[in-house]
Amino acid sequence: MAVANTMYRVVVSAGLLLAFTWIVEGYNNGVSRLPPMGWNTWCTYGDCAQSFEPHPDPNHDICNAPEIMSVADAMSTNGMKEKGWMYINLDDCWTAINRTTDGNIQADPTRFPDGLEPVIQHVHSLGLKFGLYTSAGDTTCNTHGHPVGTWPRHGSFGHYKEDTATFASWGVDYVKIDWCGNKFGYDAETLHTNFSHWLNQTGRPMHLELCRGYTMGPGSISAYVSKVAQSWRVAGDNQDNWEGGTDKTIESFVNNSRLGGPYGWNYGDFLTTGGAGCSLVPPPTSTGPYLHCPGQTEEEYRTQFSVYALAASPLIVATDIRNMTSCMQDILLNEEIIAINQQTNTPGDVVGNLPVGKDRVQVWTRDIEDGSGVYVGIVNFNNNTQSATVPLAMISSKWTDKSTVTLRDLWARKQIGSITGSLQTTIKAHDTAVFSLKPMSL
């Protein structure tokens, strides 16, 4: 592991951070040269939105050993692993109520009676990687399906050194650090940098995802995040809805591409693609979880995946991949859209908004890494089908109204032919058309 141009001073007493000085100019711990792809527990069951007292959702973000191992089995056999999907990640659902008598973090003995290590070993035996969640403060954020009075669970504040060492000893590959609980006056840059330091000190390369605490929004992500982590959230929680959800996340990527690149990526939160059913919350007498009810249309899920690919966001899906609907298969297994995401060049960004209909269509581009052309995504923010004409000069500064390029539709997976001067297409409500364009001659 290499940590470049780094200086630090840490003073610790009784496991608590007391004084801190840190200067980081950037590091590469060998993890996530490309955006990671995987699955998370967040809304495999139940709703993607949190619910709290007096009626916490008993099914939201639950996890246990059989579930995690069965999801890993599914990822290894349903075509996802072959397409690059690799991580099996637990969210805020796995910790016990208390630490061990010597202060170490431990798994919930009801959900993981043998601890996490056998589960992690199973995941690794399939050629996959394992991730988990903690919080920068002294407690975590969510109810994780537990009854009132048994949450929130403990976070990592005061135990960064011990918890990261424990994660490494278990064989963890990915750590998400949230921003809940008491931080005792410390700011996000201080705590994130300190946690990153101890994670790297373990000697085990682990992906670090930052979740909140810093400035977020279009063009305003705090610059320090790219110096301490492999990914960082650019938007709030994705709760599987279009208005105020996916549409807002899309805007949060805008003008943040400057921070993204190998070993560090802008992240739009979980993909909420599809879901196996739409059953209601079970009655109190029911003992089984209810299926996640899809909150968006197939077109909206296609847009979410398209923009995440163009923006080079990590692709972490949080619905049940053991029950792959046709929508999930068509989107999550489209290798041509995945290829846009899995590049090391500068992430894509918005190059223009065209006034079409009552709203707009938004044009995203990302260069093809080998220099052969450009990927373009055209997002229809209108509530009805619209036709759009995009000048080739908007897509690339190398092209004019006389340029001729070949056109491939990546969602349809077919070659369209050649076009001159502009790209014309028709797009359903909240859908995104994605193409690769290559010049006829350089």
pLDDT given for residue 34 in this prediction: 96
pLDDT given for residue 287 in this prediction: 47
pLDDT given for residue 283 in this prediction: 41
How many Å apart are CA 425 and CA 417, to the nearest integer?
Answer: 13
pLDDT given for residue 143 in this prediction: 72
The DSSP call for residue 242 is I
pLDDT given for residue 55 in this prediction: 46
The DSSP call for residue 255 is T
For the chain (442 residues), the mean pLDDT of every run of 10, in chain order, is: 37 38 51 96 78 54 91 98 98 94 96 98 98 97 73 92 98 97 96 97 97 91 94 92 94 92 95 70 48 87 98 96 92 98 96 92 97 97 96 97 97 97 97 97 58
How many Å apart are CA 340 and CA 427, to the nearest integer?
Answer: 20
| Cα dihedral sign, 53-214-225-243 | positive
pLDDT given for residue 47 in this prediction: 72
User: Which two tokens mark 370?
Assistant: 């080998």
User: How far is CA 30 from each of CA 42, 144, 200, 206, rounded to the nearest angstrom?
Assistant: 27, 32, 11, 9
pLDDT given for residue 239 in this prediction: 86
Terminal-residue alpha carbon distance, the chain: 41
Q: Is the Cβ–Cβ distance between 41 and 318 less than 8 Å?
A: yes
pLDDT given for residue 291 in this prediction: 67
Which residues, 6+ apart, have CB-to-CB distance to 303 below 8 Å?
246, 250, 379, 430, 431, 432
DSSP SS3 for 121? helix
